[in-house]
Every structure is written in structure tokens, then in C-alpha cells.
Amino acid sequence: MDVLIVNFHSAPLMQRTVSVAERYAGGPARFVLVDNSPGDGAADILRSLKPDAVVISNPVNRGFAAAVNQAVAAGEGETLLLLNPDVDRVTGSHADAVSAFADPRVATVAARLRNPDGTVQPSCFRAPRPFDLVSEDLALAQRFPHVDRLRRYRMLDWNYGAPRLVDAATGAFLLLRRAALEDVGPFDERFFVYCEEVDWQIRAARRGWCTQFLPALEAYHETSGSSPGVRSRSSLLLLESQHRYSEKHFGKPVSVALRATLVGIDAARVVRHSAGGSRDRRDAAIDRIRVHVTARAPRPA
């Protein structure tokens, strides 16, 4: 098995990440690190712990999708584990995933994610539709929690208690079959970060592959990248990726209509927050309008 790690200023977590991967694998594992922030010490820590690890250093931050493709190309295992450095422990073993991969249709095995306090972190998705992206923007599922249609996209109508096939799962702790990657193709590098794994799993499903959610595997995930702060750089990157997903999967006319709708929503926010004196919220809405118009967010250095 190859353990694929993308580093972006994660040096303080690297020793723990290696320990998590070793305990999960229960045996030999080959580590591949793609370093998107060289010089922060993460590569040195990994080399000291795993002298045979493969380290690829990028002179600039190439983003998550591109880094994963680099790691996949450098690996050798038939099974690959995408492991975020912010996963601090895992219960279950690789044998659980091996059993799931016994089904030749399974391209991806997803663990149940938990927050540090033990609560389940919604991490599986149904294939998004245009309305789902508008609903996400307006947080309609949180505002109207009893409306089933609003709970569809994030599968909030399900308790994550049993194994099942899902359309897609987040990439914090995700196992991939190399044969599926070879058949479907690499991650789409037009996604800088966010949505790339959803895009890949939806593409895989169209070729007859599937994603298996497996609650016997549990990963404790310290941060929820799917819910960044409204004016954080990660929030704007998520918005950019949603626009890229929309154009790719829904087509140009729908994508343009969706962007226009979201511009209108954020323009209304600018007016409301300007009148209400909330400068931070007004500026956040202006930042979002820029991303709607350009389909590009500021890149983290």
C-alpha cells in the first residue's frame, strides 16, 4: 500500500501522520510525500522517520489535485491511501478495506470521519445538482433542517451507521484502487483544492466504478475543510472549485446562470451589510462576487 501525503505547512503534524498511517496499515507501507511548501521541515521529518520515503518538492504550491497526481505517479502499490495530515487517529485496519476491495467494482473506500469530540462529521455526498450549490451558499439545510430536499446533497438524512455505496466522499482519509485510477484517469488539476475528489468519483461512477463507505474504518479529523470561514481564503477556494465543477458537469449555460444567481445573492448581502454597518461581512460578500465573476480565488503561498 502507498500512503500519499500532500504537505502544505503541516510539518508540526508530520510525525503523528506517519504514526497514524503505520498503525492503520499494520505492516509495511510505502510513503510518498508531495511537498507544496518546501523548507517548512515536513520533508526532513518524514525522511528521518522513513528513509526510504519518496519526497517530491514543488517550487510553488501546485494545489491538491496536481500533488495527488504526482504522488500517484511516484507510487507502486495497488492500493493508495490519501491521508490528510490533520487526521490524528484511525480505528479499524487495512484488512477492513481489503475486504471491501474484494468487490471488483469498488474504486474507492471511504472511512467514517469524526470530529475531535467524537461526533460524526458528514463526509459523503450525493452527486451535486445546481440547486444544491445555491442551497449550500444560503445554508438552507441549517435554516430548514426538516426539509428533506435540502438535506439531500450532504446526506443529512442518514446517520452513517452502516456500510453503503455513496456517490462521493471527502478525501481526508480515502483509499483508491490503482486500477480504477488508470481506467478513469488522474484528478482534474483545474481544481486547485476542493471538489477534485468528488469530481473524480462521479467520473468513476460513469465508468461503472463505485465508492464504498465503510464505518468499520473511522478517522478522527481535526478540521472540517468543507466548512471554512466565510471570508477565509479556503472559503473562496471552495467557491472557485464549485464553479469549476458546475461548468464541467452542468455545462456553460447552467454554470453562467448559477454564477449570476450567486452574484445577485452576494450583491444583496453587500447592500444589507453596508446598511447594517457590518464591514467584515460586506467585504466578504465583495470577495465572493470577485470569485463569481472571475472563477478564480487567491492562491495560498
Spell out the per-residue pLDDT of the chain, length 301, in tens.
Answer: 999 999 999 999 999 999 999 999 988 899 999 999 999 999 999 999 999 999 999 999 999 999 999 999 999 999 999 999 999 999 999 999 999 999 999 999 999 999 999 999 999 999 999 999 999 999 999 999 999 999 999 999 999 999 999 999 999 999 999 999 999 999 999 999 999 999 999 999 999 999 999 999 999 998 643 333 444 788 999 999 999 999 999 999 999 999 999 999 999 999 999 999 999 999 999 999 999 999 999 998 7
- Beta pairing class for 173-177 and 79-83: antiparallel
The rounded radius of gyration (Å) of the Cα atoms in the chain is 19
Identity (one letter) of the amino acid at 180?
A
- Give the largest Cα separation in the chain, rounded: 61
Contact 85, 10 (CB under 8 A): yes
Instruction: Clarify whether residues 166 and 261 are in a common domain.
Output: no
Instruction: Clarify whether residues 209 and 238 are in a common domain.
Output: no
Identity (one letter) of the amino acid at 164?
R
- Provide the residue range defining the domain that includes 257: 233-294
Instruction: Clarify whether residues 183 and 243 are in a common domain.
Output: no
Last residue of a domain, one of 173, 191, 221: 221
Quote the CA–CA distance of 46 and 14 in Å, as a whole number.
7
Task: List 106's β-bridge partners, or say none.
Answer: 210
**Residue 135: inside a domain, yes or no?**
no
